[in-house]
Amino acid sequence: MDVIIKNKHRIVVLVFLIGLGILYYCSFSWIGWIIWIFCFLIIEFCGAYFIQLNFHLQTTNKLNTIKPSVMLSFDDGPHAKNTPLVLEILDAHQIKAVFFLIGKNIQGQEEIVKQIVDKGHLIGNHSFSHHHLIDVWSSKRVLDDLKQCQHLIKQYQPQSLLFRPPFGVTNPNIAKAVKQLQLHTIGWNIRSYDTSTQNISEIKQRILNKLKPNSIILLHDRLDVMPKLLNELIPEIKNLGFEFSIELPKPTND
């Protein structure tokens, strides 16, 4: 299974190239070429954008617990104002979570990172720069960026190898860097889309509608709506009989 998953992208490229050869050999019209290239680009786009497809690298997208549990994961912190508020709420409910930190945001917010770790939460690498063009960077530049963040993360939680790709997008260069740094990529199976709206009821309902045992929920602690959202969301999740957990399964091939 490991081999099949790892080679998904390579298999698609190989099939694509064979198809191009056939089109050339059979002197297909330009329409055939366009359709074939279009199909390839759609598959590549889906493989890069939908992390759950494990197209470029193996990701953990759900928990592996016996009891019905969910995991809260927060991207893009630490945030000077909102991360401490999120930590207070998690404390009040005695919940542990995972924070995927942006390296450049750690600078100047070291005390907050210490608090996150001291309170028993996990931290992970969310790249140093979170650069909007990281997906088109060279493999060396991507590696240097992830390495720079990993260096900071290890100062606070030396055993941490957790990684979540910026924007959730994966590609061969990110996969290569992840492999080299031996990181464990964590995806999600509930995307809250909390960055697209400030309507708390809408975000909450979207999460609750998709909730199932072992869900990993993607949230952003930098958002102003987050404290209020968590204050409403956590009790409702508890009322549905779920516990909160950060027990992630062991990586299978990283």
- Active-site residue set: 75, 220
Report the residue number, 76 or 194, with the smaller CB distance to Zn ion.
76
Q: Which residue is nearest to Zn ion (CB)?
A: 75
Long-range Cβ contact pairs of 29-34 (< 8 A, separation 24 or more): none
Report the residue number, 75 or 145, with the smaller CB distance to Zn ion.
75
Minimum distance from residue 25 beta carbon to Zn ion (Å): 45
Report the residue number, 75 or 221, with the smaller CB distance to Zn ion.
75
- Choose one: 7-15, 36-44, 70-78, 116-124; the region binding Zn ion (CB under 5 A): 70-78
Q: Which two tokens stand for residue 73?
A: 């994961």
Is residue 76 a contact residue for Zn ion (CB under 5 A)? yes
Is residue 194 a contact residue for Zn ion (CB under 5 A)? no
Amino acid at 10: R
Is residue 145 a contact residue for Zn ion (CB under 5 A)? no
The gap from C-alpha 227 to its chain's centroid, in whole angstroms, comes to 21
User: Which of 75, 145, 194, 221 is in the footprint of Zn ion by CB under 5 A?
Assistant: 75
Report yes or no: 64 and 248 within 8 Å, Cβ to Cβ.
yes
The CA-atom distances, in angstroms, between 199 and each of 66, 149, 164, 206, 217 are: 33, 32, 25, 11, 17
- Comparing CA positions, the residue from 97, 51, 90, 58 lying closest to residue 247 is 97
Interface positions with Zn ion (CB under 5 A): 75-76
